[in-house]
Amino acid sequence: MEMLIITGLSGSGKTRAINVLEDMDFFCVDNLPTKLISKFAEIKRASRGWLKKIAIVTDIRGGWMFSSIFNELKILDEFGINYKILFLDAKDETLKNRFNETRRKHPLIGLDGCFSIEEAIEKERKALEKIKERADFIIDTTIFSSSQLKEHLCEIFLKESKQSVIVDIISFGFKHGDISRADLVFDVRCVPNPYYVENLKNKTGKDEDVKKYIMSFSETLNLIKKLEDLLAFLMPLYVKEGKNQLTIAFGCTGGIHRSVMFAEHFFNIFKKKGNKVNVNHRELSRNYNKF
């Protein structure tokens, strides 16, 4: 890869990403007007190897010029530039909270009838739909800390094998909303729920006694075996396809017990096999201070 194009929702962490990539020896440019992407590619070609890896951020801040991004990508193809697109996303509520915390104004507020943060996020999300579809990497930073985002980017762009697939495993609770982006979603509400066991109710799927309870049922063991077989079958196919990331989500009712246990179980399986794997528990990262 010679050039990495970073785009995504305002407030999704593009500036943090560019800082991490700079530490990886990328030559980084933030807020590059979209129409200058091809010009920058010309500079790279003329550098005779001095500019080896370039990361540029281009997004809705470029105003009307952002609509030219597909024409710019076509020019890169004609130049023979090997580029990838990284798209950063986050939940609407998370984006709103980040703007409130930083007290910064969304770039679309005050333009084209956008007078609220909700309207601005909706309009920006619609404007970015097509480029998101073209993205090679999509990272939802909703539940990522700065260190987790850094670790994730390092695993993507410092990986030793181009054929490796980075596995993101997420646990969640259906009553708190579905996962917005996942390649595979497994509903594990079919196994017995520790929530109804008094001494397990206030624990999580990370606790050993909760795990032992869930694993004591034959339906749990059978489901795990079938999922292991399915994933063992699918992984080589994803590698063959050239897929860079695989997001697997496990959901239960509240996202505290069963989904967490399943996510931890498969995290350990992938880790033992030498895969690059991350695990995030969406509901445990909320305001569950007791966990």
pLDDT of residue 220: 96
Task: Walk along the chain (291 residues) in steps of 10 and give the mean pLDDT of each run.
Answer: 92 92 88 91 81 90 89 92 94 92 89 88 94 93 84 75 72 90 93 95 95 96 96 84 82 96 96 88 70 40
Q: How many CB atoms lie within 10 A of CB 230?
A: 12
Q: Are residues 177 and 210 in the same domain?
A: yes
Q: Are residues 189 and 84 in the same domain?
A: no
Q: Is residue 291 part of a domain?
A: no
Residue pair 200/266 in contact (Cβ under 8 Å)? The answer is: no
Q: Looking at 157, 177, 200, which one is the last position of a domain?
A: 157
Residue pair 214/171 in contact (Cβ under 8 Å)? The answer is: no
Q: How many domains does the chain have?
A: 2
Q: Are residues 125 and 177 in the same domain?
A: no
pLDDT of residue 267: 96
Q: Looking at 94, 122, 157, which one is the last position of a domain?
A: 157
Q: Is residue 81 part of a domain?
A: yes
Query: What is the domain range of residue 261?
Result: 166-281
Q: Are residues 81 and 201 in the same domain?
A: no
Q: Are residues 11 and 153 in the same domain?
A: yes
Q: Is residue 289 part of a domain?
A: no
Q: Are residues 185 and 210 in the same domain?
A: yes
pLDDT of residue 179: 83
Residue pair 205/267 in contact (Cβ under 8 Å)? The answer is: no
| CA pair distance 123, 141, nearest whole angstrom | 19
CATH code, domain with 37: 3.40.50.300
Q: How far is CA 206 from CA 189, 262, 264, in A?
A: 17, 10, 7
pLDDT of residue 148: 83
| CA pair distance 174, 262, nearest whole angstrom | 15
| CA pair distance 118, 92, nearest whole angstrom | 8
- Kindly report the pTM of this predicted structure: 0.61
pLDDT of residue 164: 60
Q: Is residue 290 part of a domain?
A: no
Q: Are residues 14 and 148 in the same domain?
A: yes
